């Protein structure tokens, strides 16, 4: 396996992965960049550090929650319009159940 060049990650062959797994893992840890694994010059997989994977998962989860929140607001607005009822202020109680806000 030749020297890894890191721009936005390095590209290695599947054969390199089989032969040099330990070096590849160490490179990922040292450079904090993913490794793109190719077979016949076709990308097949990406290897990245566990920390980077966790960070990506957090971003995805945050985006998912934001999208769900936006959808809930749209649904509440639709319900309020259909029922001609105002939207009531709700709070999450200690049992994690929504209830109407007092006051």
Cα gap 97→23, rounded to integer Å = 50
Q: Are strands 10-13 and 35-39 parallel, antiparallel or unpaired?
A: parallel
pLDDT at residue 78, as a whole number: 92
Q: What is the pLDDT of residue 8?
A: 64
CB contact at 8 A, 16 and 1: yes
> Along the 103 residues of the chain, how does pLDDT read in single tens digits?
454 444 467 889 999 999 999 999 998 988 888 999 999 888 889 999 999 999 999 999 999 999 999 998 899 889 989 998 888 888 888 888 888 887 6
Q: How many other C-beta atoms are found inside a 10 Å radius of the C-beta of residue 14?
A: 14
Its pTM stands at 0.60
């Amino acid at each position: 396996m030749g020297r890894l060049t890191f721009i936005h990650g390095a590209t290695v062959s599947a054969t390199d992965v089989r032969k040099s797994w330990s070096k590849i893992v160490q490179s990922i840890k040292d450079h904090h960049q993913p490794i793109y694994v190719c077979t016949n010059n076709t990308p097949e997989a990406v290897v990245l550090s566990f920390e980077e994977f966790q960070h990506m998962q957090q971003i995805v989860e945050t985006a998912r929650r934001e999208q769900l929140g936006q959808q809930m607001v749209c649904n509440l607005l639709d319900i309020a319009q259909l029922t001609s009822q105002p939207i009531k202020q709700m709070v999450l109680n200690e049992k994690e159940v929504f209830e109407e806000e007092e006051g």
